[in-house]
Structure 1
Amino acid sequence: MEREQIDLDTQDVGRGSVIRYGHWGRPVLVFPSEAGRAWDFENNGMLEGIADLIEGGRVKLYCVDSMDHLTWSDNSLPTEERARRHGGYEHWVLDTVVSLIDSDSPGHRGIVTVGASMGGYHAVNFALKRPDLFPVGISLSGNFDPSSWHGWGEMGEATYFANPTAYVSGMEGEHLDWVRSRANVLLVAGQGAFEVHPTRSLPGAQRMAEILASKGIPHELDLWGHDSAHDWPWWRKQLAHHLPRFC
């Protein structure tokens, strides 16, 4: 399997790594679990479930660092400051990573975002904010309300626009029509260990689905069984089950 690691500098959040897997196919931007690194998908066996897609030239994966340790995972910072720093991460992805993908996969038909746990938040957040770039967002056990992540301090505009449960609820008019016409969100969650406590991934997915439904934004909620845990072996099965239909 073709593999290449690229380190990209950014003024806001430091140097981040991108690892590309594959030689051809639809680009898939992959976010790891909380505070994870670009190699986490490989190290946790996620590539095994979709090896046929990669080797068959149906997808090219671009796995990125999360940089959560500088943003959402730094509980010493008030939530608004974490959100402000997260904005720097968004700029890195949009300005630097997307440019890399566009030059490496010219003529593609839109980038699919995928993420597990907090990575699921990133995948859906980018798909809802920029569906022109990311028309498909796939979350595996994500939670979409950053204000609930050990939040403290006064929360303002930065937190609002980093919180899909807030800004999607506030969408209306032409902007909502624009999102409706482009976005396609898949929310996957299990009903087993750690999907409710402490991650709140199951209720988080259900709540996000309700908000998307209220706004008429195309989406799907796929709930797995009570044996499906908040862990890599289940995310591997879920990704292998769903990704082929988007590629």
Structure 2
Amino acid sequence: MSQRVQLPVPGTDASLGVVRHGHWGRPVLVFPSEAGRAEDFAANGMVGAVQNLVDAGRVTFFCVDAADKWTWSDNTASTEERAQRHQVYTAWLEQSLLPWIDEQLGSRQPLITLGVSMGAYHAVHFTLTHAHVAPLAIGLSGNYDVSSWHGHGSRGEATYFANPVDYVGGMQGDHLQWLQQHASVLLVVGQGPFEVDPTRALPSTKDFANLLAQKEIPHQLDVWGYESAHDWPWWQRQLAHHLPRFC
């Protein structure tokens, strides 16, 4: 069983964990579902769903803890406060996690980001803001508009730059052209239980795919059937269906 490694959160006394699965292959940075832990990915059968790829040395998963409990899931804080706290999580990814992954791999290698539910937001957001290190994102059953997450209070700069719907919608010029050339996003969602209510994953995924199309950012939208639920058994199938072509 893979061991947890704790890495410091910059500017705090806290740490967050990462668990590696696999010995070789394309590195995949995995974000858990809302407020989840690094162990959740394997515990819910996601590693097992593509065990053949792991055993063949085609993929290595780096699964991380979420910080949602004190960022996006803290409904006592305003949306802007939560977005500001999210910046600390981003600093952990940049300053603690990425150097550790580089050390594990022996060099900097292009990452795939992957996440389910709220983790899909984290994966897609990280690629869109860090395409130089993570050029491909795979989002399963995500909602990509943070303003829909029971927020309150005024929204400012921190929210804008943490919300893909906002900053992609406002993107233009050289920055947009660079992203068009370097980023790619795969959005997968079902039409079954909990994909509309309460998660809004289905309408959000479709809307965000339309926005990516308007901005000519490379992407693919894959909508599964009415039996495909917002749940781990379906995410296992979706991962097994899509991941092999990238590894």
1:182 aligns to what? 182
Say yes or no: does 1:207 pair with 2:210: no
- What is the DSSP-based 3-state SS (H/G/I as helix, E as strand, rest coil) of the residue aligned with 1:124? helix
Distance, in Å, in 1 between the alignment partners of 2:244 and 2:89 is: 28
1:7 aligns to what? 6
Q: In the alignment, is the contact (CA less than 8 A) between 1:165 and 1:208 conserved in 2?
A: yes
Structural mapping, 1:85-104, within 5 Å: 85-104=85-104
Q: In the alignment, is the contact (CA less than 8 A) between 2:102 and 2:109 conserved in 1?
A: no
Say yes or no: does 1:168 pair with 2:168: yes
Distance, in Å, in 2 between the alignment partners of 1:217 and 1:162 is: 18
Structural mapping, 1:123-162, within 5 Å: 123-162=123-162
Structural mapping, 1:17-56, within 5 Å: 17-56=17-56
Root-mean-square deviation (CA), in Å? 1.1
Distance, in Å, in 1 between the alignment partners of 2:3 and 2:25 is: 16
- What is the DSSP-based 3-state SS (H/G/I as helix, E as strand, rest coil) of the residue aligned with 1:6? strand
Distance, in Å, in 1 between the alignment partners of 2:112 and 2:105 is: 13
**TM-score computed with the length of structure 2 as normaliser:** 0.97
- What is the DSSP-based 3-state SS (H/G/I as helix, E as strand, rest coil) of the residue aligned with 1:161? helix
Q: Which runs of no fewer than 5 residues in structure 1 stay unpaired?
A: none
How far residue 95 of structure 1 moved from its aligned partner, in angstroms, is 1.5
How far residue 8 of structure 1 moved from its aligned partner, in angstroms, is 0.6
Distance, in Å, in 2 between the alignment partners of 1:108 and 1:7 is: 20
2:64 aligns to what? 64
1:13-32 C-alpha deviation (Å, 9 max, x unpaired): 62100000111111100001
2:80 aligns to what? 80
Q: In the alignment, is the contact (CA less than 8 A) between 2:109 and 2:133 conserved in 1?
A: no
Q: Which portions of structure 1, spanning 4 or more consecutive aligned residues, are displaced by more than 2 angstroms?
A: 11-14, 106-109
How far residue 100 of structure 1 moved from its aligned partner, in angstroms, is 1.0
1:183-229 C-alpha deviation (Å, 9 max, x unpaired): 01000000000000010000010011011000000000000000000
How far residue 3 of structure 1 moved from its aligned partner, in angstroms, is 2.0
Distance, in Å, in 1 between the alignment partners of 2:107 and 2:69 is: 34
- What is the DSSP-based 3-state SS (H/G/I as helix, E as strand, rest coil) of the residue aligned with 1:92? helix
Q: In the alignment, is the contact (CA less than 8 A) between 1:192 and 1:227 conserved in 2?
A: yes
- What is the DSSP-based 3-state SS (H/G/I as helix, E as strand, rest coil) of the residue aligned with 2:115? strand
Which segment is superposed worse, 102-111 or 143-152? 102-111
Distance, in Å, in 1 between the alignment partners of 2:205 and 2:139 is: 9
Q: In the alignment, is the contact (CA less than 8 A) between 1:31 and 1:116 conserved in 2?
A: yes
Distance, in Å, in 2 between the alignment partners of 1:4 and 1:241 is: 28
Write the letter of the residue equivalent to 2:149: W
Structural mapping, 1:100-115, within 5 Å: 100-107=100-107, 109-115=109-115
Say yes or no: does 1:193 pair with 2:182: no
Q: In the alignment, is the contact (CA less than 8 A) between 1:193 and 1:229 conserved in 2?
A: yes
Write the letter of the residue equivalent to 1:46: M
1:64-108 C-alpha deviation (Å, 9 max, x unpaired): 001100100000000100000001101111111111111111345
Which segment is superposed worse, 186-195 or 5-14? 5-14
Q: Count residues with an aligned counterpart.
A: 246
Q: In the alignment, is the contact (CA less than 8 A) between 1:5 and 1:18 conserved in 2?
A: yes
Distance, in Å, in 1 between the alignment partners of 2:36 and 2:73 is: 11
Sequence identity (%): 55
